[in-house]
Amino acid sequence: MHLHLAPDADGLRLELDDDARRFLRANIIEAMQELGEDEYDTRTGFTALHR
């Protein structure tokens, strides 16, 4: 798993390999399931993409 913060013109860019993307996605999905989508949205400011 590879996670790397790289500087770019807009600040920092997070670079992830496939394993890191799968890990991050699985953790986000788990958090959404535990909290419920509305509470997840409220706490993180992110909205579920499938809406």
Query: Taking the model in full, what pTM does it have?
Result: 0.64
Q: What is the pLDDT of residues 11-34, one digit of tens each?
A: 899 899 999 999 999 998 899 899
- HSE, CB side, 13 Å, CA atoms: give it for residue 5: 3
Distance CA 38, CA 13 (A): 28
Q: How confident is residue 3, by pLDDT bands cut at 50, 70 and 90?
A: confident
Which residues lie closer than 8 Å to 51 by C-beta, 6 or more apart? 37
User: Dihedral of CA 35/38/39/44: which sign?
Assistant: positive
